[in-house]
Amino acid sequence: MIEQSLLLIKPNATKKNHIGEILAIVEQNGLTIKKLKSFYFDLPLVSKFYAEHKGKEFYDRLTTFMMSGMIVAALVEKEDAVPFLRDLVGDTYPEKRKPNTLRFLFADTITENAVHASDTHDHALHEIALIFPDNQSD
């Protein structure tokens, strides 16, 4: 089934000018970019976006990092987009990353891992609504 997912290009990747490379890889792998947006997380939005992680030991480090620079958000579409994009993004943990995944190619650390992708269909709907509140899904 055709579905939408959300990709965020994180501050470490935007600061290193990897936006074009990352988006090119996304398109070369058959995902259609429906919307693009650059923005900066503020505390209210980042708190909503990462609410499920509140209270975890990495929460403050993650939210501080995500507010540290520009984010590029891409609303993407493809057959089974959520699991497909998650595979393309790669694992959070460096030792588990497969070659040629976005995190293998562009991540700096476990937190500064270049990109975020929605991990479930429900999370994709929630995250897209937060980042693209005017989105009208078919």
| Contact call for residues 49 and 127 (beta carbons, < 8 A) | yes
- Strands (E) across 44-117 are located at 71-79, 115-117
Catalytic entry in 18, 116, 121, 123: 116
Distance, in Å, from the CA atom of 77 to the CA atom of 4, rounded to the nearest integer, reads 4
What length is written for the chain? 138
Residue 116 annotated in active site: yes
Catalytically active residues are 116
